[in-house]
Amino acid sequence: MPRWEPDGVGRLQAAAFELFAEQGFERTTVAEIAQRAGLTQRTFFNHFADKREVLFGLGSEFQEEIVREIAACADTLPPLDVVVRALQAASDTMFEERRAAVTRRQEIIDANPELQERELSKQAALIHAIAAALHARGLDPETALLTAGAGMLVQQTAVRRWTQPAESRPLRELLSDALHSLRTVATQTTDQRVVPLET
Amino acid sequence: MPRWEPDGVGRLQAAAFELFAEQGFERTTVAEIAQRAGLTQRTFFNHFADKREVLFGLGSEFQEEIVREIAACADTLPPLDVVVRALQAASDTMFEERRAAVTRRQEIIDANPELQERELSKQAALIHAIAAALHARGLDPETALLTAGAGMLVQQTAVRRWTQPAESRPLRELLSDALHSLRTVATQTTDQRVVPLET
């Protein structure tokens, strides 16, 4: 996977996001993106398989980083904390400096049903990767999948807040806030059963 | 939307699920489904727009039922309980008698990436419908979306368990169990902040 390079990937991505916003995703060509970035189409294809990958290409890097962080996290932490800390670490390195680009990317995806479907597929794949990483730490598969799903809920809630125009707090902090919100939602319940002892 | 009718919709669905399992979704035609069900293609198209709708057609009815239940639920219940009770009510009327068919449907979808994408889109739409119904009860939009997402996590966890071969408990009970599991996952956390007082 290409690393984030301001001189190549970054310029192409900025150009693509501008054009997608100006004239729509469907009507933008790779030739136009390369031209706007002042680069050749060959350089574009060195970094991206197609124009859709400009929006989704960094997803695998994000996933790898999260899986790595989960594997490296202290054994003593509860599973959902492990996931949220991994999301925070990946946010610091991959998202925090790119709030405007992430916001613009989200607007482009929200405007196109086909891109929304791809985003949902990527999220589902990320949930399964997180669950596998938790299972590798010894969590049973069912709890691993539930915890991964809860982690993605936290991530989505935090990113939605982070990309609001009036929001200036770092994503790391909003992830903590969203975890706290999920905890509040889950505990305000009439489900009064006692947690059974492990047998 | 067509109601669930064992004599028409039910026979067509049973026939379609058999054929999808035997020869794959892609290779099954509407003519074959109608023939296996002992009905005409015209009857098929009275009930379904295409063969994909045999898998997803009941989704809108499920969504309408949940939204109706949420609107009718007592004001004193916490939001996540409102959602889980609505899911339980809809499960009783739409799922409980159809465990084998729902299990087979899930296997067909799991085997086909295009159907998986459609399933994810339907789930996303259901989350937004549940969030809108909660917002209509006075919950702020952000908490409504988070609660709806948590409700769908509960639903997915419960249905996954319910469609296991060794599982015989009713879906209603597994929904309660899954809510309890989510609560456990969410509360086992080092997030120790005090819930701020409402201002």
Domain end among A9, A27, A55: A55
Instruction: Judge whether A1 is closer than 8 Å to chain B, CB to CB.
Output: no
Say what the pTM is.
0.87
Q: How many residues does chain A have?
A: 199
Position of tokens 């790898």? A64
Q: What pLDDT digit, counting tens, does each position of B139-182 carry?
A: 999 999 999 999 999 999 999 999 999 999 999 999 999 999 99
What mean pLDDT is predicted for residues B128-141? 96
Structurally, chain B folds into a number of domains equal to: 2
Domain residues for the domain of A23 are: 1-55
Q: Which of A113, A160, A195 sits opposite B184 (nearest CB)?
A: A195
Q: What angle do CA A161, A165, A171 make, to 5 degrees?
A: 40
Asked whether residue A18 falls in the same domain as residue A106, the answer is no
Do A88 and A42 share a structural domain? no
> What does the alpha-carbon distance between residue A76 and residue B44 come to, in Å, rounded to a whole number?
57
Looking at the structure, tell me whether residues A167 and A125 fall in a common domain: yes
Q: Are residues B89 and B105 in the same domain?
A: yes
Per the CB < 8 Å rule, is A189 touching B181? no
Note whether A178 contacts B: Cβ–Cβ < 8 A: yes
pLDDT at B78: 93
In a domain, A134, yes or no: yes
- Distance of CA A130 to CAs A117, A183, B149, B183, Å? 20, 19, 18, 19
**ipTM for the assembly:** 0.86
CA B77 to chain CA centroid, nearest Å: 22
pLDDT value at position A9? Answer: 85
Answer whether A153 touches B (CB < 8 Å): yes
SS3 B197: coil
Domain contains B146: yes
- Same structural domain, A37 and A62: no
Contact residues on chain A for B157, CB-CB shorter than 8 A: 142, 145-146, 149
Task: Please tell me the predicted confidence (pLDDT) of residue B195.
Answer: 47
Q: Of A12, A34, A55, which marks where a domain is finished?
A: A55
A76 — contact with chain B (CB < 8 Å)? Answer: no
Q: pLDDT band at A186, cuts 50/70/90?
A: very high
**Residue A117 lies inside a defined structural domain of this protein:** yes
Q: What is the identity of the amino acid at A12?
A: L
Contact B174, B167 (CB under 8 A): yes
B69 min Cα distance to partner chain A (Å): 17
Residue B124 contacts by C-beta under 8 Å, 6 or more apart in sequence? A116, A120
Tell me how close the Cα of B87 comes to any Cα of chain A, in angstroms: 15
Distance CA A66, CA A87 (A): 6
* Same domain? A51 vs A61: no
B189 vs B199: CA distance, rounded Å: 26
Same domain, A44 and A135: no
Residues in chain A closer than 8 A to B160 (CB atoms) = 142, 145
CA distances from B69 to A141, B64, B86, B151, B157 (A): 32, 9, 5, 14, 21
Q: Which residue is associated with the tokens 């707090």? A: A169
The answer as to whether B86 is a domain residue is: yes
The reply to whether B193 falls in a domain is no
Q: Is the dihedral of CA A125, A127, A133, A138 positive or negative?
A: negative
Percentages helix, strand, coil for chain B (3-state, rounded to 5) are 75, 0, 25
Buried b (16+ CB within 10 A) or exposed e, B42-52: ebbeebbeebe
**Are residues A80 and A148 part of one domain?**
yes
Is A89 among the domain residues?
yes
Minimum mean pLDDT range among A105-114, B62-71, B164-173: A105-114
Looking at residue B3, its pLDDT comes to 46
Whether residues B46 and B80 share a domain: the answer is: no
Residue A4 — pLDDT band, cuts 50, 70, 90? very low
Top residue of A75, A128, A191 to mutate, by most chain B CBs within 10 Å, is A191
Q: Does residue B15 carry a pLDDT above 90?
A: yes
Token reading at A56: 């989704």
Is A125 within 8 Å of chain B by CB? Answer: no
Q: How far is CA B164 from CA A119, A124, A135, A163, B97, in A?
A: 28, 21, 19, 40, 15
The CATH number given to whatever domain includes residue B28 is 1.10.10.60
Q: Does A116 touch chain B (CB under 8 A)?
A: yes
With beta carbons under 8 A apart, name residues in chain B contacting A186. 80, 150, 182-183, 185-187
Asked if the Cβ–Cβ distance from B184 to A191 is below 8 Å, we say: no
* Same-domain check for residues A50 and A63: no
Which residue from A124, A157, A187 is facing B186, i.e. has the nearest CB?
A187
- Domain with B128 in it: what CATH number? 1.10.357.10
Alpha carbons B197 and A188: distance in angstroms, whole number: 15
* Residues B79 and B114 both lie in one domain: yes
- What digits encode the pLDDT tens for the residues A12-31? 988 998 999 899 899 999 99
Q: Which residues of chain A have a CB within 8 Å of the CB of B117? A: 117, 120-121
Is A163 contained in some domain?
Answer: yes
Residue A173's pLDDT band (cuts 50, 70, 90): very high
Whether residue A197 lies inside any domain: the answer is no
Helix and strand totals (H; E) in chain A: 10, 0
Residues B62 and B106 grouped into a single domain? yes
How far apart (Å, rounded) are the C-alpha atoms in residues A29 and B103? Answer: 43
The tally of CA atoms less than 13 A away on the side-chain side of residue B108 is 29
Does B98 score more than 90 pLDDT? no
